[in-house]
Amino acid sequence: MARSLPAQVDVTAEVPEQYWACRSDGHWNIRIPNPDNGMPTFGLYRWLVCQRCNRMVRQTIHRGSEVFASRTFYPPGYLVRGMGQVNRKEFRRALIKTELAAEGLSLPAEKSLGTLVTPITKPIRRRR
């Protein structure tokens, strides 16, 4: 499970800028041919590569078209020692704080957003 970033983390110092978009917004994957021509014992391999950061994923697909194993290969510098797996929302928030601080601005308090968005406390029941 992803952990939260410390309140004072400076993502510009921890993560190289070329990986910020993927860490905050997700990867842009495309399917590529099998680079090593290997085959699993059962099923087949499906390879995906991110167009922005070159992270590769090898999925093992069962004969029933379901992914039953996945292995990720990160480019050098993508993973930061001691940072662990970071929640995307927390990383994005820290990144925005860093970007705004560079411009001399700050993020509005979360409580001020409460008037704009009403949280759903009960499931909405639909009439039939």
Per the domain annotation, does 1 fall within a domain? no
Average predicted confidence (pLDDT) for the chain:
78
Residue 86, helix vs strand vs coil:
strand
128 lies in a domain? no
Global pTM reads 0.65
What's the domain count of the chain? 1
Q: Provide DSSP, 100-123.
A: HHHTT--PPPHHHHTTT-PPP-SP
Assess if residue 60 is contained within a domain. Answer: yes
Does 69 map to a domain?
yes
* 117 falls within a domain: no
| Residue 28 is assigned to a structural domain of this protein | yes
119 occurs within a structural domain? no
Strand positions, DSSP E, 17-75: 29-32, 44-50, 56-61, 67-73
Instruction: List pLDDT tens digits, range 14-70.
Output: 788 889 889 888 999 999 988 877 777 778 889 999 999 999 999 999 877 899 899
Answer whether residue 112 is part of any domain: no
- Do 83 and 14 form a contact (C-beta atoms < 8 A)? yes
Query: Is pLDDT at 71 greater than 80 in this prediction?
Result: yes
pLDDT, one tens digit per residue, over 16-32 is: 888 988 988 899 999 99
State which residues form the domain around 94: 11-106
